[in-house]
Amino acid sequence: MITVLEANGLSKRYGHKWALSECTLAIPAGKVVGVVGPNGAGKTTLLHLAVGLLQPSAGSISVLGGRPGTTAGQLARVGFVAQDTPTYAGLSIAEHLRFGAWTNPSWDQKLAEDRIEGLGLDPGQKAGKLSGGQRAQLALTLAVAKRPELLVLDEPVASLDPLARREFLQGLMEVVVDHGASVVLSSHLVADLERVCDYLVVLVGSRLQVAGDIDELLSSHHRLTGPRRDRGSLPRDHQVIGESHTDRQSTLVVRAHDPVLDPLWSVEKLDLEDLVLAYMSRAVKVDRRPKLEVRS
Amino acid sequence: MTRLTLRQFRTEAVVGLVLLGALAILLAVSGVNLMNVNDAFRSACKAARDCATASNPVVNVDKPLQSALPFLATIAPALVGLFLGAPLIARELETGTFRLAWAQSVTRRRWLAVKLGVVGTAAMAFSELFTWMVDWWAGPIDAANKNRFGLANFGFHGVAPIGYAAFAFALGATAGVLFRRTVPAMGVTLVGFAAARLAVTYWARPHFASPARESLPLTTGSGPGFGFGGANGASVVLNPPHVDVPNGWVYSTAVLDKAGHAPTSPYMLHACPVLDQVSEQLAASGGLPTSGGGPAQFHGCINKLSATFHTVVTYQPAGRFWPFQWAEMGIFLAAALALCGFSYWWLRRRYA
């Protein structure tokens, strides 16, 4: 399997606080990966480690088979849009494109110009005068036109209004379709990711909760409702993610690769949001979490 | 990367060049005037054969400019540090654009090296151009005052300002890396630069080379300022003469014997009984000149003292002006390079 990102026990510490602990992960190529989790979960840390803005405190990470951010060649293969999509306020759009051309060997000027034109932006306009959505599009254009093999976006739509959000994600999908880059983007909103991602990474409290193909995750997670019973009575291959009990009834969220056949349970599918929420609330409840197997 | 750096620094460059151009015009007009006054004086004093003693009126021409320029030239490197150095990295860090820059196919080392190299070189060139203009303009005044080695004038002549500019710039950039905000970085740059300049001027520069010492005979015509002075009624001190070393840097003059001791008050009163009579006068007036209007009795008294005592001048000869300039530049350049290295190390440590 070709991986775009491989992490092994990847950890990052600031002072005494672990921003990311023991993250082991292998993301296959050609995916649009959503990294989701609440604020402060370690999403930005993971992405910064992936583009070489940070170095791990422990463990290792390799992106497209190389150490992130170390050489110009490695930098050329990874496009990055940072949180709040920074641009040079005093430079015009055209100057940003020239900047991209000067600093990237595989720069595609036509692609960049077409995108700016398609967005209806005036190349002479200063980036400082753009709206948040336009600035995000400019940042995306810069990242895309360097023709990276992997595109990393850190909360690119967090500060955008719903319309700009939609346009941005649409633009992103067009790029993926047209140029076939792998994408890793983070968000604290599942709804953003649901439309564009086919692979999910859930981070909570600096730890990796689950990672895998969204289709596989959805088909292997079930909500079971039935008369009250203990989790110990479940088959071994059922991994309980969440449970709630009333006097007479139990509701469990389990991960099971085989269909649940027990007739006492009424089995429901989860949607992506429920699935993510189940992992989030579990992480909050449990102090010492069992390490999860990572499927890829 | 170079072109981006040049583009980012365009506004500052234009402002700097406009200011430099305005100053050039001002100095050109004033400088021609100074040269004319100086030439007129030269031919007049040659005709009168008193060039050595006559005072050159050039030192009084364009007085406001003469008082303003040393100040301007002293703070120019600080301005370079404030407006080119401090924002160089700090602005990228505070606006987050460093994440955009570092996402391009340029390593951090190259990014920093190009930024520091391109803007730093421009800062040094700007400073040297400024100094060269001031040097040219001040030529006639320096020729008249013969004091460019002095503490007040050394710093805006020659090549030392290149070092100052490089240092102020690197200090600004480093403060920006540390504080990640432009305004605090500017404050630190200003204070740090002033401290470094003062420290080198008063503590380091006097030790670049051990000074020359010269003993001059003690005579009534030793020079201005020479004479007896009074302090606390009875005691008498001998004020050393002011000795001019043309284009040299005088540390001190003192009246000393072979063992390096100054004449004591009782010794002087013994050698010169006349001092006793005027001691009250000495105390009241603060001193009596030995030459000109001084009492004639002093002559014999000075003659007696001169058998044992000499005027000892400690100074740096004029020929050391350039070695001192290069040394001063070298110190500040070395400090600038060290700061650049530190910035790189810190950026790597913090962000990589």
Q: Residue ranges of the domains in chain B?
A: 2-210+321-350, 219-308
Q: What was the pLDDT predicted at B293?
A: 42
Of the candidates A70, A73, A100, which has its C-beta nearest B104's C-beta?
A: A100
pLDDT at B304: 82
Q: Give the pLDDT band (50/70/90) at residue B209.
A: very high
pLDDT digits (tens, 9 = 90+) for A52-62: 999 999 999 99
**Cβ distance of B107 and A71 shorter than 8 Å:** yes
Decide: residue B249, CB within 10 A, 0-12 exposed, 13-18 middle, 19+ buried: buried
Q: Does position B81 have pLDDT exceeding 50, yes or no?
A: yes
Beta-carbon separation of B106 and A103 below 8 A: yes
pLDDT digits (tens, 9 = 90+) for B315-345: 999 999 999 999 999 999 999 999 999 999 9
**Confidence check: pLDDT of B241 > 90:** no
The answer on pLDDT for B237 being more than 80 is: no
Determine contact: B102 vs chain A, CB below 8 A: yes
Q: Above 70 in pLDDT, residue B80?
A: yes
Q: How confident is the model at residue A1 (pLDDT cuts 50, 70, 90)?
A: low
Answer whether B97 touches A (CB < 8 Å).
yes
pLDDT bucket at B277, cuts 50 / 70 / 90: low
The average pLDDT across B209-227 equals 80
Q: What DSSP element (H or E) covers B217?
A: strand B212-217
The whole-angstrom distance between A70's CA and the closest CA on chain B is 7
Residue A22, pLDDT score: 93
B139 CA: distance to closest CA in chain A (Å): 42
Which chain A residue has the Cα nearest residue B2? A102
Q: Are A143 and B103 in contact (CB under 8 A)?
A: yes
Give the CA radius of gyration of chain B: 27
Provide the pLDDT confidence category of residue B51 given band limits of 50, 70 and 90: confident
The mean pLDDT of B294-320, rounded to a whole number, is 82
Average pLDDT over residues A72-89: 94
Residue A20: predicted pLDDT: 95
More confident residue, B64 or B236: B64
A274: exposed, middle or buried (Cβ count in 10 Å: 0-12, 13-18, 19+): middle
Name the token pair of B99.
Answer: 């994440």
- What pLDDT band is residue A204 in, cutting at 50, 70 and 90? very high
Q: What is the pLDDT of residue A231?
A: 77
* Confidence check: pLDDT of B294 > 60: no
Percent of chain B with pLDDT over 70: 90
List chain A residues with CB under 8 Å of B1.
102-103
What pLDDT, on the 0 to 100 scale, is given for residue A159?
A: 83
Mean pLDDT lowest for which of A118-127, B97-106, B132-141, B301-310? B301-310
Alpha helices of chain B — where are they, by DSSP H? Answer: 2-8, 10-48, 63-80, 86-95, 97-101, 108-145, 151-154, 160-179, 182-199, 265-271, 274-285, 297-306, 321-351
A69–B352: do the CB atoms touch at under 8 Å? Answer: yes
- Residue of chain B minimizing CA distance to A145: B104
Q: What is the model's pLDDT at position B151?
A: 87
Share of chain B above pLDDT 90, in %: 59
Q: How far is CA A189 from the centre of its chain?
A: 11
Check whether A42 has a pLDDT greater than 80.
yes
Residue A209: alpha-carbon gap to chain centroid: 13
Q: What confidence category does residue B222 fall into, taking pLDDT thresholds of 50, 70 and 90?
A: low
- Write out the E strands in chain A: 3-14, 17-28, 32-36, 58-63, 78-81, 150-153, 182-187, 199-204, 207-213, 221-227, 239-245, 249-255, 266-269
**If you average pLDDT over residues B31-47, what whole number do you get?**
91
Residues from chain B that touch A98, judged by Cβ atoms under 8 A, are 3
Q: For residues B127 and B8, what is the distance between their CA atoms, to the nearest angstrom? A: 20
Q: Does B6 touch chain A (CB under 8 A)?
A: no
- Asked whether residue A261 carries a pLDDT value surpassing 90, the answer given is no
Within an 8 Å CB–CB cutoff, is residue A15 touching chain B?
no
Q: Does B349 touch chain A (CB under 8 A)?
A: no
Q: Which residue, A143, A135, A186, A180, is CA-closest to A161?
A: A135
Q: How many CB atoms lie within 10 A of CB A68?
A: 25
The first and second tokens of residue B86, run together, are 């401090």
Higher pLDDT, B29 or B232: B29
Q: Which of A53, A57, A108 to mutate to test the interface with B (most CBs of B within 10 A)?
A: A53
* A82–B11 CB contact, under 8 Å: no
- Is residue A56 less than 8 Å (CB to CB) from chain B? no
The whole-number pLDDT of residue A197 equals: 93
**Nearest alpha-carbon partner for A10 in A66, A53, A55:** A55
Q: What is the pLDDT of residue A289?
A: 47
The residue in chain B having the minimum alpha-carbon distance to the alpha carbon of residue A154 is: B99
DSSP string for residues in B256-292: E-TTSPPPPHHHHHHH-THHHHHHHHHHHHS-EESST
pLDDT tens profile A126-155 = 999 999 999 999 999 999 999 999 999 999
Q: Check A103 against B104: CB less than 8 A apart.
A: yes
Among candidate residues B103, B68, B344, B72, the one with its CA nearest the CA of residue A141: B103
Q: What is the mean pLDDT of chain A?
A: 89
Residue B202 has pLDDT above 50, yes or no: yes
Contact B271, B261 (CB under 8 A): no
| pLDDT for position B292 | 42
pLDDT at A127: 95
Average pLDDT for A101-121: 94
What confidence tier does B223 reach under pLDDT thresholds 50, 70, 90?
low
A208 and A36 Cβ atoms separated by less than 8 Å: no
Question: pLDDT (tens digit, 9 = 90+) per residue, A29-40?
Answer: 999 999 999 888
- Could you read off the pLDDT of B126-176 as tens digits, one per residue? 999 999 999 999 999 998 888 899 888 999 999 999 999 999 999 999 999
The reply to whether B260 touches chain A by the CB within 8 Å rule is no
